[in-house]
Amino acid sequence: MRTSARSFLRLGLAAFFTVGIVALMALLAGRFQAKVPAGGPANGRRSDRPIGDGVEVVVKKVSVPRRESAVGTIRAVYEAIVASKVLARVEEVHVRAGQDVQQGEVLILLDKADLKARLEQSLAAQTAARAKLDQAEIDLARAQRLRARDAINQSDLDQATTAVKTAKADLDRTQRAVEEARIIEGYATITAPISGRVIDKKVNAGDTVTPGQPLLTMYDPTRMQLVATVRESLAMRLKVGQQLPARMDALGYDCLATISEIVPESQAESRSFLVKVTGPCPPDVYSGMFARIFIPLEDESVIVVPTEALRRVGQLDEVDVAEGGLARRRVVQLGRKLEDGREVLSGLKEGERVVLPRAQDKTGSDPS
């Protein structure tokens, strides 16, 4: 008896919990809430309503210009890499990154003790060569007098003449060596090749530099260009001197740029050309910044509706379409914002009529 009672109790509890779970699921599913019949009112409105005093507007196609953007990087038209021409130690650095300098201004001083010693050695060799030439000319004059009296042979006179020519050649060689030494000594004073702005200095005082080693880079900030990568099919449409719209997103700057150069070589990896454009240079623009140009394509026809005819309900965009004297609600997919309204990608056809709702009929948010 006890076993039967316990089994009955277990069955009762199981049935109770089952009924409770079913009731809870029905409650969550909305089974106990009033339903809106199909075609009935939704949010206080009907899907179909009389047009009344609403204004009907014909859906039309308009021609809009189409363009494609090409991204690129801002670069300086004039950019210089200042390098050392000698092996020397850096004594002084007079500039820092971001500093503006004028052409010919001293940027870096190198230790020129060795270079000065080489110059002095060349000057000494020049003095010795000049003394030898003076002595050779004196000997030649004496040999000419003696030859006139037949006191020496012609070969002796020829030797004296040759000695003068050799001394002149030696003097000319030493003069060239002095000029070279002066030029090399000047390499110790590194000046700005152009007027511009220092991008970065790569050495400090005390460093030892070698010939060809870059010391700093600089550019002219007043002459900048955009180097853009343009795919082959579009690059074939462009020509030098053509003007294109350009934009720098970081500065919010728009301008009309002019194509200054089209590199006549396609990049095999991307099948594109490098196109360089120049235009008005805004303040606070730096080399390496991102920018883009816009290349015009053929115009395209798109369906446009007035913004006033659109209504946003939740995540959907709706319009009222005039059909048989009624304003029938229809969901549409929108595209770009245009001057005449909004582009409609799907949901409407050319020639259909939409109803501009009255102020009291507008609900939801403006999709524009």
What ranges in 187-290 are assigned the alpha helix state H? 232-235
Task: Copy the structure tokens of residue 360.
Answer: 């009291």
As a residue count, the chain comes to 368
Measured CA to CA, the distance from residue 110 to residue 92 in angstroms comes to 7
> 309 and 355 in contact (C-beta within 8 Å)?
yes
Please name the residue that has the structure tokens 């609403």.
54
For residue 284, what is the enclosing H or E element? Answer: none
**pLDDT tens column, 285-312:** 888 899 999 998 888 888 888 888 888 8
Is the pTM higher than 0.75? The answer reads: no
> 216 and 108 in contact (C-beta within 8 Å)?
yes
- pLDDT of residue 35 exceeding 70, the answer is no
| Beta pairing class for 311-313 and 316-323 | antiparallel
Check residue 45 and report its DSSP letter. Answer: B
> 110 and 185 in contact (C-beta within 8 Å)?
no
Please name the residue that has the structure tokens 């006139």.
148
Check residue 35 and report its DSSP letter. Answer: P
> Per mean pLDDT, which range of 49-53, 233-237, 324-328, 345-349 is the poorest?
49-53
**pLDDT tens column, 45-92:** 455 677 666 788 888 888 877 888 899 999 998 889 999 999 999 999
Measured CA to CA, the distance from residue 257 to residue 280 in angstroms comes to 7
**pLDDT tens column, 202-219:** 999 999 999 999 999 999
In one letter, which amino acid is 59?
A: V
